[in-house]
A and B are shown apart, each in its own frame.
Chain A
Amino acid sequence: MDIFFFLVFAAIALISAVNVVLQRHPIASALSLIGVMGSIAVLYLLLGAEFIAMAQIIVYAGAVMVLFIFVIMLLNAGAEERRGRSWTSQLLGIPALLAFVALIVYFVQRGFADAGNVKFGNFTGGSAQSVGYALFTAYLLPFEVTSVLILVAIVGAIVLARKEMD
């Protein structure tokens, strides 16, 4: 049952990801990206990380992508035009893609050589409690540093968007 759902949603994630690039209209691309986020959330759920799954939907599919769509609607961006591809992209596109995939495979193989296969339902540390506990014990410093980083970004956003007072 688990493997069935995994295959279905992994396929949806991949198809949506390809669709992001293939669609010509920005809204269609953004909606495909929501499809990617949603199916990745289901994959998290299958692995037993229910808090991360819900956070994925709330933060990425809910908040971030709403802003994307909001901006696309505000700019009223139309469908993009397709021109002929340049000779560099025609010549180097597929080889560059293959090289990139090969690099990823190489580093995953090297970095996680001793990791076993993923088993569904074995992982139990995905509840809100265990995530919170980890954040406030093992990862306290990165957590606090991130919050300062976000504060800096908020201040920057306000400075940029502020109207000049005369």
Chain B
Amino acid sequence: MAFIVITLIKTALIAFILLTVLAYLQWVERKVIAHVQVRMGPSRVGPHGLLQPLADVIKLITKEGVMPPHANRFFYLLAPFLAVFMALISISVIPFGTQITVGRWTTMMQLTDLNVGLLFILAISSMGVYGVALAGWSSNNKYALLGGLRSSAQMISYELPMSLAIASPLLMAGTLSLREIVNSQAGYNFGFLPKWNVFGGPFPQIISFIIFMIASFAETNRVPFDLPEAENELVAGFHVEYSSMTFAGFFMAEYANMVTVCSIATLLFLGGWHPLWPVEYGSNFVASLILFVAGAVCIYHAINPARPFDRYTLPVFGVVFFGLAGVMLVPFLVPVLMPLFWFLAKCGFLLFVFVWIRATLPRFRYDQLMGFAWKGLFPMALLNLLITGFLVALES
């Protein structure tokens, strides 16, 4: 009984946090791209445009959904549902911390620890292509069909190097359970260099990490591989005929997929929740330090306001940041919060890289995209797997 209640509470919490993160990821993306391009970005709704996601959600819900004539009604409505479902469900096997003990109940910071967790994620992500393909086909629109076809071809091609890149750290960990993969990366070489898969082991997995990241850009249909929705050729690609909530579904699926691949990269290559340097050198104080500096910056700008209302809004943020910095130091919360902080920090950095690259790189040409996957990434991933397997066999 306790198990069911705890699982329900965890599910509700994770769902709520994930959906909020998805909404604000879009705000972060718009802000970062704006600053890269020397613009302001969203700034009207709330301070610094912080309420923009809420406004967008209200706008999308209240808009009229238009269905094109001659569209296949059932598949047209099934497609966004499939996309969102497949994107959100993979978060259920991702561990993001050690364990929480409240009173006599102990629970893992993860919804469920499958012993084939990684295969489960691969399976779900290979099902994700149906949402896009069906959307393109059922809209009865030539641009949508082309986008759907491109997307399925691209996702099939890039799944290969992605799976091969995943296989090399698996060889080093010797298990498919995501929690055990992270546990196998604990500890430090020479007392300071973390034993993450990118650094340690018999063969550092930097190549497979890079291959995984490139392939995951293609899997999530992000720039520079966003051929399925290339605006200047295909209008908007597979979701050109979608509006209101069905459109929001595809949008949400894209961001949820981004969160998933970043979590996987963190777990497989970047040591999950293990800190960058040992606790003896003070890695537990990093979170407090960052929050403290953020609070200090807010207070400084409140004293020298650039805009009149900064005098009232920024002190509030400053006090909140100082409070959070204090919370990060509470002794009995540290074992829970520190793994969570390091996991979120690595994941957040990878998400930032996604946004950064979107603001920087132009789009590939379609034949280049396919050639790159089959002639570049695939042989490299294969070679990397071969060397890793050989060295792992030598070591054992």
Measured CB to CB, the closest approach of chain B to A89, in angstroms, equals 29
Contact A66 B145 (CB under 8 A): no
Contact B133 A58 (CB under 8 A): no
Chain A residues with Cβ below 8 Å from B122 are 54, 58
In Å, the complex CA distance between A62 and B120 comes to: 12
In Å, the complex CA distance between A34 and B75 comes to: 14
Contact A62 B127 (CB under 8 A): yes
User: Does B77 have its Cβ within 8 Å of any Cβ on chain A?
Assistant: no
In Å, the complex CA distance between A63 and B122 comes to: 11
Chain A residues with Cβ below 8 Å from B120 are 54
Interface size on B, residues (CB 8 A): 26
Measured CB to CB, the closest approach of chain B to A74, in angstroms, equals 7
User: Does A73 have its Cβ within 8 Å of any Cβ on chain B?
Assistant: yes
In Å, the complex CA distance between A92 and B148 comes to: 42
Contact B137 A73 (CB under 8 A): yes
Within 8 A of A (CB), among B66-108: 72, 75
Chain A residues with Cβ below 8 Å from B155 are 66
Contact B137 A62 (CB under 8 A): no
Contact B129 A74 (CB under 8 A): no
User: Which among A25, A27, A58, A74 has the greatest number of chain B C-beta atoms within 10 A?
Assistant: A58
Interface size on A, residues (CB 8 A): 24
Q: Total A-B residue pairs with C-beta atoms closer than 8 Å?
A: 71
Within 8 A of B (CB), among A57-73: 57-58, 61-63, 66-67, 69-70, 73
Chain A residues with Cβ below 8 Å from B156 are 63, 66-67, 70
Contact A51 B116 (CB under 8 A): yes
Chain A residues with Cβ below 8 Å from B136 are 73
Chain A residues with Cβ below 8 Å from B72 are 25, 27
Measured CB to CB, the closest approach of chain A to B62, in angstroms, equals 32
Measured CB to CB, the closest approach of chain A to B73, in angstroms, equals 12
In Å, the complex CA distance between A51 and B75 comes to: 31
In Å, the complex CA distance between A27 and B159 comes to: 23
Nearest CB to that of B176 among chain A residues? Answer: A128
Measured CB to CB, the closest approach of chain B to A35, in angstroms, equals 11
Contact B127 A61 (CB under 8 A): yes
User: Does A146 have its Cβ within 8 Å of any Cβ on chain B?
Assistant: no
Contacts beyond the supplied A57-B126, A63-B126, A69-B134: 17 A-B pairs with Cβ under 8 Å: A25-B72, A28-B75, A34-B130, A50-B114, A53-B116, A54-B116, A54-B120, A55-B119, A57-B123, A58-B119, A61-B127, A62-B127, A66-B129, A66-B156, A73-B133, A73-B137, A73-B148
